[in-house]
Amino acid sequence: MLVLGFDMTILNVALPTMAGDLGATTGQQQWMADAYVVVFAALMLPAGLLGDRFGRRAMLITGLGVFLAGSVVGALAGGVPAVVAARCVMGVGGALVMPLALAVLPSLFGEPKDRIKAIGIVSAASALGMPLGPILGGWLLDHFWWGSIFLVNVPMVGIGIAACVFLLPETRDPAAPEVDVISTALAATGLGALIYAIIEAPGRGWGDPLVLAVLAGGAALIAALVVRDRRAARPMLDMGLLRRRPFLLSALAATLVMFVMAGLMFILPGYLQAVLGHDAFGTGLRMLPMMGGLIIAARAGGPVTARFGARATMSAGLVVLAFAALLGSRTTVDSGYGFTALWLSIAGIGFGFAVVPAMDAALAALPADRAGSGSGLLMTVRQTGSALGIALLGSLLAGAYTNRLDTAGLPAAAADTAGDSVVAAHAVAARLGAQRLADSADAAYVHGMSLVLLVIGATALVSALLVGAFLTTEPKRPEAAADVAPAPVDA
């Protein structure tokens, strides 16, 4: 779980370096980040069912092995397609590991208090990995090549496999439903098509026939998934739960938080490295204020929710997040890091106070006999939110950057390269001695980041109004804590 926490964030700090070494455009950087999350989200539910039917230990070891193979391929990759392929393989492994790492705990700890403590330790490991990811990635990039951010997984996954082989008993649920291959294929291809269209749209144009066709195809596939699961006796995705208002609004709020966090983690490294000029390790350290605020607020979220209620706490957290985003949208090229640290800290506090009560309210709204399918649906839509955050917010940034960049007087080839990313623009400026281009690239990137933050702020405000006006929480079931493991990344 610590490794999964790393890989949620460790790649982001490496993207500017990889963009320079591999010549990756902003769209290709989005794919390197998003490939893992898209596959992760699409396969998490069938992965859990595979463990139930064929043995949780066996499938957990398989997942760790797949993740290990993907990490090795990523470390040895020589181009963008190989990195994207490696991230897809890692997503398959991560989808197996995440639900099964929690599912094996009841067989190890029979006493409820021991089980809850174990879940807390596992969740803390994943939560610790998120802020450590950028720091570890930055240190590795300052001392080794970018492939080392993948290779660091190898010894830890090896220890995990050995521990599973020698320490875990095998458990399974023969009564678990069969994996619905068609629903799995519809989810993966539909989500992948939507993400592809969103990422390609800034370069091709939203009116491009290919973009429109892929968007329509993705929407049709997702619609087919919904129709199929509505007719199934035991659906893989229990869409009927979305008719429960407390679950729907709480899941929406939790998904928004992942949407925003993934988008911010994608755009921040480019600003900190290319615009402010920090090295990779310094960039990782400078992303800590957001993680620090999130962890502090997440720990305080339980007591605050107990006193004021989930609706008030979620609404307040979303308002704080909106304020931080609107404050961050005032960033200029000359703002410096102090201003960035301020609004990042506030954003982290907003994240924490929004997501903890959102997850708690969503799980409390589930009926006892649908706790498993409901928690699976919740984790799936949250991971989908992460993928869409990178795709939508990254595409907004890419489009704004390209439109604002001044490439007048440059050769056509140099102008095209500079438009790929702010890192590429700085490389072209250094080669040609064109400081004006570097200054224009910095201003264009900050402009795009400000637009992204404005969108985040407006979305958070609308969500706060929806939650405050329509959310009605249900009494929490005593058995919920034992039935449903909390989502690890929110610990």
The domain boundary residue, chosen from 235, 259, 280: 235
Q: Do 337 and 477 fall within a single domain?
A: yes
Q: Do 231 and 254 fall within a single domain?
A: no
At 124 the pLDDT is 62
Burial class (CB in 10 A: 0-12, 13-18, 19+), 296: middle
At 162 the pLDDT is 92
Q: Do 153 and 220 fall within a single domain?
A: no
- Residues 231, 236, 241: CA angle, nearest 5 degrees: 75
The domain tally of the chain equals: 3
| 263-286 tens-digit pLDDT | 887 788 888 888 888 877 787 788
The domain boundary residue, chosen from 151, 177, 203: 177
Q: Do 211 and 64 fall within a single domain?
A: no
Contact 377, 237 (CB under 8 A): yes
Q: Do 130 and 272 fall within a single domain?
A: no
- How far is residue 43 CA from its own chain's centroid? 15
| 201-246 tens-digit pLDDT | 766 777 788 888 988 998 898 888 888 877 776 666 666 777 777 7
Q: Do 371 and 427 fall within a single domain?
A: yes
Residue 123 has pLDDT above 70, yes or no: no
Mean pLDDT of 344-349: 90
Side-chain-side CA neighbours of residue 295 (13 Å): 15
At 109 the pLDDT is 74
Q: Do 171 and 207 fall within a single domain?
A: no
In this predicted model, which residue has the larger pLDDT, 63 or 130?
63
Long-range contacts of 412-420 (CB under 8 A, 24+ apart): 417/23, 420/19, 420/23, 420/24, 420/25, 420/26
Q: Work out the number of other CB atoms within 10 angstroms of the CB of residue 327.
A: 17
Side-chain-side CA neighbours of residue 154 (13 Å): 14
Q: Do 246 and 153 fall within a single domain?
A: no
| 424-477 tens-digit pLDDT | 788 888 888 888 888 898 899 999 999 999 999 998 898 888 888 877 754 444
Contact 354, 253 (CB under 8 A): yes
The radius of gyration computed from the CA coordinates of the chain, to the nearest angstrom, equals: 22
Among left, alpha and beta (phi > 0; psi -120 to 50; other), residue 23 is left
Domain that holds residue 135: 1-177
C-alpha 254/C-alpha 264 separation (Å) is 16
Q: Do 282 and 311 fall within a single domain?
A: yes
What is the 3-state composition of the chain as percent helix, strand, coil, each rounded to the nearest 5?
Answer: 85, 0, 15
- How far is residue 341 CA from its own chain's centroid? 21
At 422 the pLDDT is 81
Q: What is the mean pLDDT of the chain?
A: 79
Contact 284, 149 (CB under 8 A): no
CATH number at residue 64: 1.20.1250.20
| 353-378 tens-digit pLDDT | 887 777 767 766 766 555 555 666 77
Q: Do 430 and 289 fall within a single domain?
A: yes
Q: Work out the number of other CB atoms within 10 angstroms of the CB of residue 222.
A: 17
Q: What is the 3-state secondary structure (H, E, C) of 24-46?
A: CCHHHHHHHHHHHHHHHHHHHHH
Contact 437, 410 (CB under 8 A): yes
Q: What are the φ/ψ torsions at residue 471 (nearest 5 degrees)?
A: -75, 130
Q: Do 320 and 418 fall within a single domain?
A: yes
Task: Write the CB contacts of 304 (distance below 8 Å, at least 6 apart in sequence).
Answer: 313, 353
Where does the pLDDT of residue 485 fall: very low under 50, low under 70, confident under 90, or very high at 90 and above?
Answer: very low
At 367 the pLDDT is 66
Mean pLDDT of 7-28: 77
The domain boundary residue, chosen from 235, 251, 280: 235
Q: Do 250 and 373 fall within a single domain?
A: yes
